[in-house]
Each structure stands twice: as C-alpha cells, then as structure tokens.
C-alpha cells in the first residue's frame, strides 16, 4: 500500500484541470458549478440517483463522475443515499410500468425545493424501449422534469454540463432562506 501512496504523492494529479480553456471546458465547469451551488443553495448540491429501469449503461457513466478524472465532488455535488437528503433526483432509464409507482413515491419523499434531471435517451421518452407494454413512458410522464440530458448513455462530460445548466437556468436566483436551512417553505 505504501508504494502506491508514495507513488501517488509524486505523480501529478489526473484530475483534469486548469484552463488552457476552450478545450478544457471541464475545469471551467468546475469553477462555475461550485460558485453557483454555493451561491444559490448555500450548500453543495445533493443528488439522489434513481434508476427506473435503465439498461445500467447510464449508471456506469454516472459512476465515472466520481473517478479521479472528473472528481465530481470538487464541483460541490454529492451523491446521497436517500431522497430525504436530496436536492436533485437524477433519473435514468425508461420508466417501466413496474417502477412507476416507486418513482412517484421517491419524488414525494424528496423535500422541496427539488429538481428532477432525466438523464439518457430512455429517460426522455422511453428511448428504444418506447411502445412496450412494460414501459409507461419517459420520466416526465410520471413526475415533473426540469432538465433532460441526452445521450445513450450521456458521457460524464455531458452529465456535468447538464447539471451546470440546471443550476444556471432552472434554479431560482436565490432559494428562500428557510429552505436553505432546511425548514419547511410556505
């Protein structure tokens, strides 16, 4: 273990960084996302991922967001284990008829203010599974959606850009203070 840790001390970080800008849009994103989240929510953005029947491809790319290259936490995003702790539901997959109720209940369990991001082509309208008896439709047919990130699956880069867009365009300028400290909002 020591060897590995020592090695990592002497190798430059992989985390994609620092603006030679235009190409390195990722680093640019990082800075923007972080300030926006702090500014608008007063804390980092808690994401609860919900799979409503995906092929698991979308999950793989969401997982990749946490690797050293993308390191999503530095942007102020956190994946949380319960909808009770979440600001954002990140929903993947077509909504199967067998998962529809679970999605609606998860949404209900998420405290306001909350946003829903539908990630992947399936989440938009069922994608290539649309029309099956087993599919009830896209995410927006079950719960309100604030943003859709296209792709099959969306790349980690697309996912990050999408989350940033959510913050810039969909989040209100400022969240009422009561909501920020976790009190019920009128």
Residue 147 DSSP SS3 = strand
- Considering only residues 74 through 93, tell me which ones interact with ligand SF4, judged by CB under 6 A: 92-93
76 binds, among another protein, ligand SF4, none (CB under 5 to 8 A by kind): none
Give the single-character DSSP code of 115.
E
Q: Is 54 in the site for ligand SF4 (CB under 6 A)?
A: yes
Tell me the closest approach of the beta carbon of residue 55 to ligand SF4, in angstroms.
Answer: 3
127 binds ligand SF4 (CB under 6 A): yes
Contacts for 139 with CB less than 8 Å, ≥ 6 apart: 52, 91, 95, 103, 116, 118, 123, 124, 145
Q: Which of 135, 93, 145 is nearest to 114 (CA)?
A: 145
Taking the complex as a whole, how short is the minimal distance between the CB of residue 131 and ligand SF4, in angstroms? 14
From the list ligand SF4, another protein, none, partner contacted by residue 121 (C-beta under 5 to 8 A by kind) = ligand SF4
Q: From the list 26, 47, 117, 122, which residue makes contact with ligand SF4 (rule: CB under 6 A)?
A: 122
Element (H, E) at 5: helix 2-10
Residue 62 vs residues 33, 40, 87, 133: alpha-carbon distances, Å: 17, 23, 17, 28
87 or 121: CB nearest ligand SF4 = 121
Q: Interface residues with ligand SF4 (CB under 6 A)?
A: 54-55, 57-58, 92-93, 120-122, 127, 152-153
């Amino acid at each position: 273990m020591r060897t590995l840790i020592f090695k990592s001390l002497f190798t430059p970080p992989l985390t994609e960084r620092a603006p030679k800008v235009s190409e390195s849009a990722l680093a640019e994103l990082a800075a923007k996302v972080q300030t926006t989240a702090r500014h608008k929510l007063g804390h980092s953005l808690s994401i609860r991922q919900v799979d409503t029947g995906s092929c698991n491809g979308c999950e793989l790319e969401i997982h990749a967001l946490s690797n050293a290259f993308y390191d999503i936490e530095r942007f102020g995003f956190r994946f949380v284990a319960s909808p009770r702790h979440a600001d954002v539901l990140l929903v993947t997959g077509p909504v199967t008829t067998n998962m529809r109720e679970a999605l609606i209940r998860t949404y209900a369990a998420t405290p306001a203010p909350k946003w829903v991001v539908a990630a992947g082509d399936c989440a938009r309208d069922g994608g290539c599974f649309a029309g099956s008896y087993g599919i009830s439709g896209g995410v927006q047919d079950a719960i309100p959606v604030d943003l859709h990130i296209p792709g099959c699956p969306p790349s980690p880069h697309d996912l990050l850009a999408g989350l940033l867009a959510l913050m810039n365009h969909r989040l209100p300028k400022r969240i009422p203070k009561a909501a920020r400290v976790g009190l019920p909002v009128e």
